[in-house]
Amino acid sequence: MSKHILTQQASPVDTPAGGKVAIYVDNAAIPKLSLKDPAGNVTKLAPLASAFSTGTVSAGYVTNTYMVGSSVPVPTTLAPGTTYYCVFDMVKTGAGTAAPVVTVVFGTAGTTGDTARLTFTFGAGSANADTGMIEVWAHFRTVGGSGVLVGVCRITHSLAATGLTSTGASGSGQIAVVSGAFDTTVANSKIGVCFNGGTSFSGTCTLVESQLIV
């Protein structure tokens, strides 16, 4: 079996001549195979990082709960537009009528102790069993010492305006939030998602998938 070993590039490679493409590996904290075209555009060929759940978590989420499988490492050298995506399912029993809250957190712990940068508070749920999917899209609008994260969270569920949330009238509701400024360059930082179903909530999550993408 043949293989190619590429040396990481400490600085961007030279822009290739017309009709050619330069292939290289950058020297980010998580190295990425990259393409540079004759116009100087750089395309990353894989996610910066990804994660997934390895088991089912049942009968939880009464309090703020870090979603296992949502945490991915964030390099100190982010590019504006770097995108975080997380999706997870939630099956609710008839218990719990509080407002569900989804937060995107950023910090070095990878726990609920990390700072909430985006908080999505949905309309109160109801005492009906329901099945839904929760998705978060967020990107770094700016990076560095005064970085800004902007995101949208959507809940799609079986019931129209009952069960998981009363937000939306057709079984789907979404909220957009913009963070305040914060330092995106802190070493060993992670980005992840927490879910809080509120008092008496009883839910089961089977799948969590997340990616950090350039």
Contact present, 128 and 162 (Cβ < 8 Å): yes
Are 12 and 93 members of one domain? no
Q: Count other C-beta atoms under 10 Å from residue 39's C-beta.
A: 8
Q: Please name the residue that has the structure tokens 């218990």.
A: 95
Same domain? For 77 and 156 the reply is yes
pLDDT category at 13 given cuts 50, 70, 90 is confident
> Quick one: 115 and 19 in the same domain?
no
149-176 tens-digit pLDDT: 999 999 999 999 999 999 988 899 999 9
Find out whether 118 and 138 touch, Cβ atoms under 8 Å. Answer: yes
Q: Do 66 and 28 fall into the same domain?
A: no
Work out whether strand 49-52 and strand 208-213 pair parallel, antiparallel, or are unpaired: antiparallel
pLDDT tens digits for range 19-47:
888 888 887 766 777 888 888 877 766 66
Please tell me the pTM assigned to this model: 0.82
Looking at residue 62, what is its pLDDT?
Answer: 96
- Please tell me whether residues 118 and 184 are part of one structural domain: yes
Q: How confident is the model at residue 103 (pLDDT cuts 50, 70, 90)?
A: very high
Domain that residue 27 falls in: 8-44
Distances (CA, A) of 112 to 45, 117, 119, 184: 31, 12, 13, 18
* Residue 14 and residue 117 in one domain: no
- For the chain, give the mean pLDDT: 91
Report the CATH number that the domain containing residue 202 is assigned in CATH.
2.60.120
109/74 same-domain check: yes
- Tell me whether residue 1 is in a domain: no
State mean pLDDT over 39-67.
Answer: 86
Query: Which residue reads 């309309």 in tokens?
Result: 123
Same domain for 130 and 158, yes or no, is yes
Residue 106 pLDDT greater than 60, yes or no: yes
**Is residue 147 domain-shared with residue 161, that is, in the same domain?**
yes
